[in-house]
């Protein structure tokens, strides 16, 4: 499905005629939450795409909106940006109700939603210039300079003269990001920003997101990549099947789950047998490692005893420890499911 990138040029009919004349203050008092939803719901026929979502995105956070395919991330973002009407519930962005205040809110928001729509016959640079020209709040005198600087930030300077139809997926994604960065924004809403990027490109975009956040921009990004969220986000919300599972600071979310026991040994078969007898569950054996869920505190079995039992059974233990719990552990603990697409 072709996506689009959003900016001030995009408005929805629902915003027409109801635009308040006051503008949103860009300095001074910060709004505590930049995005706030209250039982936000979107139904497509029988399908509940988003189900009673109440989300709070603190100002200054890099907020990861995490969920498997089809969990309602893009639908939520479309509602936040005033592109579709919620079935019920409320959303506020920068303190203003959406979609009612779409026209006054969007100039302060840079957004990239499910891959940008581009004019293939224009170069990447000309796409940006044209996009900026469609923005009534953009200053034409600084247009070229702002476009060059945005191209530079996303690493597209060398490819800026190439026709957009010859862009790779990752290059298109970068150009969509550049469009979101043409003006200083209070909020960036990025739907799967690293989609289609190679590992190096992903690192660059993550670094860029951190840099933008350090300049004071709140970044809301969706992803189905757990490790990406862990690397770049301060806060996260986890979605499954349209529902919010949990939200909060990333460190707290991951701390809610126990880490996995990891034993490195050439004697994996013996190690797995001993660990199983001692109550370690969900054992996974690879070439030189055995991992599993350590027994709970209620069993009275501590890690030192596990290690001693392995050594006592003649297992050559080369490494022994508990990996820090990941968001994936937390997700599995909360949902009882893996990170797969719901049917
Ligand atoms: N326009 C639509 N009409 C009908 N159903 C839709 C529509 N848009 C989304 N859905 C359904 O709503 C659910 C949520 O979709 P959504 O695109 O929001 O998921 P997502 O979390 O963004 O997934 P992905 O990670 O694949 O981008 C899915 O079951 C999808 O099939
Ligand atoms: Mg999506």
pTM of the entire structure? 0.76
Mean pLDDT of the 117-142 span:
93
Does position 3 have pLDDT exceeding 50, yes or no?
Answer: no
**If you measure from the C-alpha of residue 66 to the centroid of ligand 2, how many angstroms do you get, rounded to a whole number?**
10
The DSSP bridge pattern shows strands 33-44 and 47-53 to be: antiparallel
117-126, 194-203, 296-305: which has the highest mean pLDDT?
117-126
How far is residue 259 CA from its own chain's centroid?
Answer: 23
pLDDT of residue 283: 92
pLDDT of residue 326: 67
What digits encode the pLDDT tens for the residues 203-239?
Answer: 888 999 999 999 999 999 998 887 888 889 999 999 9
**If you measure from the C-alpha of residue 52 to the centroid of ligand 2, how many angstroms do you get, rounded to a whole number?**
18
Cβ burial, residue 59 (10 Å; 0-12/13-18/19+) = middle
pLDDT bucket at 296, cuts 50 / 70 / 90: confident
Pocket lined around ligand 1, Cβ cut-off 6 Å? 44, 47, 49, 67, 69-75, 224
Q: Residue 129 in 3-state DSSP?
A: helix
Substitution candidate for ligand 1 out of 4, 42, 51, 71 with most atoms within 8 A of CB: 71
Ligand 1 atom 16 nearest Cα: 72
The pair phi, psi for residue 190, each rounded to 5°, is -120, 115
**If you measure from the C-alpha of residue 69 to the centroid of ligand 2, how many angstroms do you get, rounded to a whole number?**
7
pLDDT bucket at 26, cuts 50 / 70 / 90: very low
Does position 286 have pLDDT exceeding 70, yes or no?
Answer: yes
Domains of the chain, start order? 4-19+29-249 (3.40.50.300), 261-323 (3.30.70.100)
Sign (positive or negative) of CA dihedral 332, 334, 337, 340: negative
Question: Which ligand approaches the C-alpha of residue 76 most closely?
Answer: 1
Question: Which ligand approaches the C-alpha of residue 65 most closely?
Answer: 1
What digits encode the pLDDT tens for the residues 301-324?
Answer: 788 899 999 999 999 999 998 886
Q: Characterize 73-98 residue by residue with b for buried, 16 or more Cβ atoms within 10 angstroms of its Cβ, and e for exposed.
A: bbbbbbbbbbbbebeebebbbbebeb
Does position 325 have pLDDT exceeding 70, yes or no?
Answer: no
How far is residue 337 CA from its own chain's centroid?
Answer: 20
Ligand 1 atom 26 nearest Cα: 69
Residues 191, 179 contacting (CB under 8 angstroms):
no
Residue % of the chain over a pLDDT of 90: 60
Q: How would you list the strands of the sheet with 261-264, edge to edge?
A: 281-285, 289-293, 261-264, 319-322
Does position 43 have pLDDT exceeding 80, yes or no?
Answer: yes
The helix-helix angle for 124-133 and 143-153 (nearest 10°) equals 130
């Amino acid at each position: 499905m072709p996506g689009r990138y959003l900016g001030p040029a995009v408005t929805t009919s629902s915003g027409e005629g109801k635009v308040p004349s006051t503008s949103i203050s860009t300095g001074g008092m910060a709004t505590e939450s930049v995005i706030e939803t209250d039982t936000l719901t979107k139904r497509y026929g029988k399908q509940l795409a988003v189900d009673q979502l109440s989300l709070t995105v603190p100002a200054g956070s890099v907020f990861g909106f995490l969920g498997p395919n089809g969990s309602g991330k893009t639908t939520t973002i479309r509602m936040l940006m005033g592109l579709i009407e919620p079935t019920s519930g409320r959303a506020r962005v920068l303190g203003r109700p959406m979609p009612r205040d779409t026209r006054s809110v969007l100039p302060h928001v840079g957004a990239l939603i499910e891959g940008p729509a581009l004019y293939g016959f224009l170069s990447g640079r000309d796409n940006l210039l044209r996009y900026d020209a469609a923005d009534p709040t953009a200053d034409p005198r600084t247009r070229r300079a702002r476009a060059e600087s945005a191209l530079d930030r996303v690493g597209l300077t060398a490819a800026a003269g190439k026709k957009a139809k010859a862009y790779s997926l990752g290059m298109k994604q970068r150009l969509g990001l550049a469009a979101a960065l043409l003006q200083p924004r209070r909020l960036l809403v990025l739907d799967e920003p690293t989609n289609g990027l190679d590992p190096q490109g992903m690192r660059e975009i993550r670094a860029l997101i951190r840099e933008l956040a350090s300049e004071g921009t709140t970044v809301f990004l969706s992803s189905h990549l757990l490790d990406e969220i862990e690397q770049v986000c301060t806060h996260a919300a986890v979605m499954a099947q349209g529902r919010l599972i949990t939200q909060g600071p990333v460190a707290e979310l991951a701390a809610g789950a126990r880490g996995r026991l990891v034993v490195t040994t050439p004697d994996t078969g013996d190690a797995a047998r001993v660990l199983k007898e001692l109550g370690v569950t969900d054992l996974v054996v690879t070439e030189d490692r055995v991992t599993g869920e350590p027994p709970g505190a209620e069993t009275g079995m501590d890690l030192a005893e596990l290690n001693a039992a392995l050594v006592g059974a003649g297992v050559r233990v080369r490494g022994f420890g508990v990996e820090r719990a990941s968001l994936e552990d937390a997700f599995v603990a909360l949902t009882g499911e893996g990170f797969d697409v719901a049917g």
